[in-house]
Amino acid sequence: MRVNDAIIGAALVGLGAATTYAARAFPAIPGQQYGASVFPTVVAVFLAGCGLKLVFDGVRRRRVAEPPQPGETRGDWCRSGRAWFNLAACLALVAGYVLFAPVLGFLLAMAAVVTGCCLLLDAKPWVALVVGVATAVVIHQAFTLLLRVPLPRGVLLPF
């Protein structure tokens, strides 16, 4: 079964609008020029923009799209055991992050999750490790220094 991109795009636009509306209720942070609503609003606007692009592409392709072939219901990836394993492993990595981030800390837990996801995508182990560590450090610095959001410190940053 194939869903037109316009439908998915419209759902993303709606999600972005709902997130923007919900973020308006977030409290202001005393002493700062921006409040807690800035980051969710930026993400929501980006999400809605991507949704609009999907809507335009879906409408444009709808006019020239070929009808589905008889018996065509899902892609070949659905029949692949590897795809289902990757899905389950990705969900397990996210659940592992939720469980272990308070103990290990953000840096170790996020590096493990990103490294694991890279390995699921058949990256070389050293590339996966470098990408995982770099991603964790960049996200950590962005949240702690720029956004001033406290992240779990864990065993690496006990102070």
Q: Quick one: how far is CA 122 from the chain centroid?
A: 19
CA dihedral angle for residue 146, residue 149, residue 153, residue 159, rounded to 10 degrees: 70
Give me the pLDDT at residue 71, please. Answer: 61
pLDDT along the chain (159 residues), means of 10: 80 94 86 81 94 91 62 64 89 94 93 95 95 95 85 76
30 lies in the same domain as 55: yes
Give the angle 26-51-123 at the CA atoms, nearest 5°.
Answer: 95
How far apart CA 76 and CA 80 sit, in angstroms, is: 7
87 lies in the same domain as 141: yes
Give me the pLDDT at residue 12, please. Answer: 94
Find the domain containing 58 and state its range.
5-64
Give me the pLDDT at residue 153, please. Answer: 87
Is 155 inside any structural domain? no
Give me the pLDDT at residue 68, please. Answer: 59
Give the angle 27-105-83 at the CA atoms, nearest 5°.
Answer: 95
95 lies in the same domain as 141: yes
Give me the pLDDT at residue 4, please. Answer: 80
How far apart CA 15 and CA 3 sit, in angstroms, is: 18
Residue 130 one-letter amino acid: V
How far apart CA 81 and CA 70 sit, in angstroms, is: 24
56 lies in the same domain as 114: no
Q: What is the pLDDT of residues 37-70, one digit of tens each?
A: 888 999 999 999 999 999 998 888 776 556 656 6
Is 70 inside any structural domain? no
- Tokens found for residue 42: 């930026």
Report the number of distinct structural domains present in the chain: 2
